[in-house]
């Protein structure tokens, strides 16, 4: 049986087939991470379909730059295998830019290619959603929220760390040192509703 298609349908099908090899963005996860180079091996998180209709797992992407927020001041955080995120593919070859930064040469006429991937950690599937999430200010925390530094939207700061150890003079509050060598002068203070009389004494 012969099927006919309009010219518009033919163009649509042709364009659809061509777009299958155009890399734009897709979720994935870390296989391995090198903290020295800040490059990772990344596994694409969605199967592909070959010309025969069979599904297959795409091969890993190698030497993928990993995004960390900031410039002169930045957020550094641990990257582990299976950490999820979003893979973006550059519209031009990034080989030279990886080496030199700035405005780099374009050594290869490569467009939307799987070899030009960048990984943005943090995008999460439902099974890996953050537990104990608080939609309040900003919090540096571990996965289970057992350790954190939390700047709340009311201006208060909450710190919860196992084995928390403040070393003077690195910890201040409103410009006042509250490290190990900090002590109050003689007087009456309120702490949790109970009066604290006299000085706080020398640190032990």
| Domains contained in the chain, CATH given | 23-128 (2.40.50.230), 130-162 (no CATH), 165-204 (no CATH)
| pTM of the predicted protein model | 0.74
CA distance 142 to 97: 33
What is the rounded distance in angstroms from the CA atom of residue 133 to the CA atom of residue 115?
35
Pairing of strands 39-44, 117-121: unpaired
Please give the Cα distance from 75 to 88 (Å, whole number): 20
Rounded to whole angstroms, the Cα distance separating 79 from 88 reads 18
List the Cα angle 21/27/30 in 5-degree steps.
110
Determine the straight-line distance between the first and last CA of the chain, rounded to whole angstroms. Answer: 92
Query: Would you write out the chain's pLDDT as a tens digit for each of its 204 residues?
Result: 556 678 888 888 777 777 777 889 999 999 999 999 999 999 999 999 887 889 999 999 999 999 999 999 999 999 999 999 999 999 999 999 999 999 999 888 889 999 999 999 999 999 999 999 999 999 999 989 989 999 999 999 898 887 665 443 445 555 565 655 556 565 555 555 555 555 555 554
């Amino acid at each position: 049986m012969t099927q006919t298609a309009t010219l518009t349908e033919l163009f649509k099908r042709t364009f659809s087939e061509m777009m299958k090899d155009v890399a734009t963005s897709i979720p994935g996860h870390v296989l391995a991470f090198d903290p020295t180079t800040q490059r990772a091996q990344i596994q694409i998180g969605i199967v592909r379909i070959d010309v025969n209709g069979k599904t297959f797992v795409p091969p890993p992407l190698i030497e993928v730059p990993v995004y960390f927020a900031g410039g002169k001041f930045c957020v550094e955080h641990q990257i582990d295998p299976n950490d999820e995120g979003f893979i973006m593919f550059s519209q031009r070859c990034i080989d030279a830019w990886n080496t030199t930064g700035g405005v780099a040469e374009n050594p290869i006429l490569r467009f939307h290619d799987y070899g030009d991937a960048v990984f943005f950690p943090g995008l999460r599937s439902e099974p890996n959603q953050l537990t104990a999430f608080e939609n309040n200010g900003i919090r540096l925390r571990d996965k289970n929220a057992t350790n954190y530094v939390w700047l709340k939207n009311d201006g208060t700061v909450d710190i919860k760390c196992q084995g928390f150890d403040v070393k003077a003079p690195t910890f201040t509050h409103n410009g006042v040192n509250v490290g190990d060598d900090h002590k109050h002068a003689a007087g009456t203070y309120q702490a949790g509703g109970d009066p604290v009389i006299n000085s706080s004494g020398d640190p032990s």
